Structure 1
């Protein structure tokens, strides 16, 4: 079992994504099955549209990367390497607002179910107290060693 890291933890220590597709900055907290990450909408963001707002698909990717950070931290606590995961489904997602260039975001995720390498994750994206998106995503987490099992 590995030693716990101090929060916040830089995202590149926990997820396989790298710029420009690394959309989150840090894991801010973790409490077993849930965690919160931070993200900044900066210039040059790959999903920034001409009007200065993020595309809605970016909010889904933020949820997926937030869970990748939570899972990456859980793996590291177990002494395991960070694993890849793939977004394979979206369900009951509500888009209530679009982040703008310069916005600081908080993304909260929690695994509500796991079965044979799949995780159902509930999550929300907020700008301060304002809820921008919420819903469920389904992810496939590559097993340790990369096999199917």
Structure 2
């Protein structure tokens, strides 16, 4: 499906932390996003490039955009989620040059009722390829999850 919402309405991020430009399309099990690497961004290097390790965040934001699309489609608010980790991030370059058009795909391979999920992700650009499996968590009751527990003063 084509995405009818701006990226800022799909991610629980704000300002410069939103790295993606748009959702190209999404489905029941996947999302396709893109961004053009520009100088002056939050993680930009002096030459305007992005270090390749930012690919993990681009993949994670793509997963968040997937969740945002699903929530918006159901008439629900966008919820906060967490990147728990990544398995075997592989990238064939050490940086993404300024001006590169990057395309990210996140394919859901597992999701349970407790909010745990696994996504197979791929990032492609001119001469660029990165892959990773992301483990994510979106707690069903985020407010109670984030509530600070009282410290036990008797240690």
TM-score (norm. length: structure 1): 0.86
Larger Cα-atom Rg: 2
From 124, 127, 135, give the equivalent of 2:125.
Answer: 127
1:105 aligns with 2:102: yes
Work out whether residues 8 and 26 of structure 1, in 8 Å CA contact, stay in contact via their aligned partners in 2: no
CA distance in 2, matches of 1:122, 1:138: 9
CA distance in 2, matches of 1:94, 1:145: 31
Aligned to 1:7: 3
Aligned to 2:143: 146
Instruction: Please state whether the residue corresponding to 1:138 is helix, strand or coil.
Output: strand
Q: Which runs of 5+ in 2 are unaligned?
A: 146-155
Give, in angstroms, the shift of residue 51 of structure 1.
Answer: 4.3
Instruction: Please state whether the residue corresponding to 2:54 is helix, strand or coil.
Output: helix
Give, in angstroms, the shift of residue 94 of structure 1.
Answer: 0.7
Aligned to 1:92: 88
Q: Which runs of 4+ in 1 moved over 6 A?
A: none
1:41 aligns with 2:54: no
Q: Cα gap change, 1:126/1:56 in structure 2, threshold over 3 Å: closer, same or farther? A: same
CA distance in 1, matches of 2:82, 2:142: 16
Give, in angstroms, the shift of residue 89 of structure 1.
Answer: 0.6
CA distance in 2, matches of 1:106, 1:60: 13
CA distance in 1, matches of 2:12, 2:83: 14
CA distance in 2, matches of 1:63, 1:147: 27
Q: Deviations over 1:16-75 (max 9, x none)?
A: 112211000111111211010111211211112234431222100000000101110001
From 31, 45, 53, give the equivalent of 1:57.
Answer: 53
Q: Which runs of 5+ in 1 are unaligned?
A: none
Aligned residues: 143
